[in-house]
Structure 1
Amino acid sequence: MKKKWLLPIFASFMFFTGMGIHDAKAATIADITNTAKAYIGAPYKYGGTDIKTGVDCSAYTQLVFSKLGISLERTSKAQYQQGTSIAKDNLKTGDLVFFNTSGSGVSHVGIYIGDNNFISATTSSGVKVDTVNDPYYWGSRYVGAKRIANFSDYGEVKDAEIDFSIYASRGEVALRLANKLHLDTSNTNSSFPDIKPSSKYAGAAEALKKIGVFTGDDNGKFNPGSPMTRGQLSKVLVEAFHLTQQGTAEQFIDVPGSHWANNYVGILASNKVTVGKGDGTFGVNDNVTLVQLEAFIQRLAQ
C-alpha cells in the first residue's frame, strides 16, 4: 500500500461531466494552477497518456482536470467542443486555450494560468509555460478559449492526501539518490528512530546520512513518508553531488537573497539542472513530483 501524507488543501471534488460550465466551487484557482504546474518537465509523446513516459497536449489537460474531478474528452478538437466560448480579453485561470499548429484547425490545447500565460505539453520541451500572445509562435496560432469550470478564490479547508504516485516522498528521494550515486546500502540498521531495519528505505537513508546528505529533523527522524519541497531538494542535490557555483546563476522571484535556499537554488541553476517553472519562479515551496525528481537526477548524471 502506498504511503500518504496529510496536509490541508481545499474541499474534495465531485465528478463532473457535460458540455456546459461546471460549478467547481470546491476547486480553487490554486488547485488548478498547482496541479497543472506539478507536471512541468514531463516529456511529450504523440498519442501518449502516461505522464512518466510522455503525454500529448490533450492527454495532459485531461489528466490535470481529472485530478480535480472534471471530465474532459480525449482530443484537443473534442475538448474544443466542451464548455462555453470565452473572449481572449476575458480569460480566467483554468480556461482551456486552443491553437492551430498544424494548419488544419484546432490541434493544440493548454490551460490558462493567468498573467497572459498558459501551460501545455509541447512537442519541443514537454510540459512548460508559454505566453498566449507570444509574437514568435503562439500569438498567431491562437484559435479561441473554452471555460469548462468556474474556479473559486477560496474553499473550505479539510484534510486530503498527497498522491505519492505523483509526488516524491523523502524515502523515494533517498532510494533514487543512493542508486544514482552507487552507494553501499547494505547497512539497514538505521540510526533514524522512524525507520525500521525492514524498511525498504533503511539502507538508502543510512548511506546518505553517512555522507552528510540527510541528518534528520529536530527529533532525529527521517520522515520517509513525508513530501519534499523543491527548495529542500535543491539542498539535498547540491550536497549529494558536491555541486559548486558555475558562473552567474539565474535569479528567481520567489527565492530572494534572504531565503535560506537561495544559494542552493542558485547553484542548481548555474549547473543547468533547473530553469525554474517558466514564469520567473522556482517553486521553492512546491512539493517535488516524481517527474521533476527524475529530470533533476538525469541532468546531474549527464
Structure 2
Amino acid sequence: DDYVKTGFYLVEAIPWSSISDCSPTRQQILTFGEQYIGTPYVYGGTSLTGGIDCSSFVQQCYASAGFSLPRTSREQATRGTQITLNEAKPGDLLFYADATGTIDHVVMYLGDGKILHAALSLGQVTISKYNYSTEPVRVVNIIGD
C-alpha cells in the first residue's frame, strides 16, 4: 500500500452522431464501419464479427464501396492522395507511426476531430479522438473527391 497507487481507468465518453454531411460514397463507407463498433480487436484478424485489426477493418469498409486497398497499413499509406489534416473529410485515412517512424496504424476520419478504428489499446472497433495517442503522420484521400 505504501508503494502502489490504486485507482480506476475510465475510457472517455466521446459524443458522436452518425455521419450525414459528406458524399454518398463517404457515408456508405463509414455507415458500413459503424455497424461493427464493438467488434473485438485481433492482431492479424480479418473477421468483422470474430475479430479484426486496423488495416483489415479499413480494407473491408472501403471494399463495401468498391475500393480495393492492400492488406497492411504501411501499404495503404502509399495509396491515394496525401492531404493535410485540415483538408481531411469524413472517410479519409489517417496513419500513425511507432517510435521508429514506421506506419503501424490506420483509421478512418469521421470529422469533428473523431476517428473510427479497430483499436488495439481498447481491444475493439471504436470511436476515438484523432489524437487519442499521438498525431497522425500521414493523411490520405483514397476516394478522390
**TM-score w.r.t. length of structure 1:** 0.38
Q: Which residue of 1 aligns with 2:127?
A: 129
| Partner Cα separation in structure 2 for residue 37 and residue 79 of structure 1 | 20
Gaps of 5+ in 2: 1-22
Equivalence for 2:13: none
One-letter amino acid matched to 2:95: F
Inter-partner Cα distance in structure 2 for 1:64 and 1:57: 11
Distance in 2, Cα, partners of 1:101 & 1:35 = 28
Letter in 2 for 1:138: T
Is 1:144 matched with 2:141? Answer: no
Helix, strand or coil at the partner of 1:58: helix
Match of 1:138, SS state, is coil
Distance 1:55 1:100 in 2: 19
Relative to structure 1, the CA distance from residue 122 to residue 114 in structure 2 (aligned partners, 3 Å threshold; closer, same or farther) is: same
- State the AA in 2 paired with 1:92: K
| 1:144 to partner: Cα distance | 1.1
Inter-partner Cα distance in structure 1 for 2:39 and 2:103: 23
Is the radius of gyration larger for structure 1 or structure 2?
1
Counterpart Cα distance in 1 of 2:138 and 2:96:
7
- Relative to the length of structure 2, the TM-score reads 0.77
Equivalent residue number for residue 47 of structure 1: 44
The residue identity in structure 2 corresponding to 1:129 is: I
- Contact 1:58 1:109 survives alignment (8 Å): yes
Structure 2 Cα separation of the partners of residues 102 and 121 of structure 1: 20
Greater relative contact order (Cα < 8 A, sep 6+)? 2
Distance 1:101 1:41 in 2: 25
Q: 1:32 aligns with which of 20, 29, 32?
A: 29
Deviations 1:8-62 (A, max 9, x none): xxxxxxxxxxxxxxxxx7x433212211211100111111111222111100000
More helix per residue: 1
Whether the aligned pair in 2 keeps the contact of 1:45 and 1:54 (CA below 8 Å) is yes
In structure 2, give the amino acid aligned to 1:57.
C
Is 1:85–1:144's contact at 8 Å kept on the other side of the alignment?
yes
In 1, are the aligned partners of 2:96 and 2:106 still within 8 Å (CA)? yes
SS of the residue corresponding to residue 137 of structure 2 reads: strand
- 1:87/1:104 Cα in 2 relative to 1: closer, same or farther (>3 Å)? closer
Alignment of 1:1-302 (within 5 A): 27-101=24-98, 103-123=100-120, 124-134=122-132, 137-139=133-135, 142-150=136-144
Cα gap change, 1:122 to 1:103, in 2 (>3 Å): farther
Question: Using a 3 Å threshold, how does the CA distance of structure 1 residues 150 and 38 change in structure 2: closer, same or farther?
Answer: farther
Equivalenced residues, count: 122
Shift of 1:104: 4.1
Greater strand proportion:
2
**Structure 1, residues 177-212: CA drift from partner, whole Å, max 9, x if none?**
xxxxxxxxxxxxxxxxxxxxxxxxxxxxxxxxxxxx
> In structure 2, what is the Cα distance between the partners aligned to 1:102 and 1:128?
23
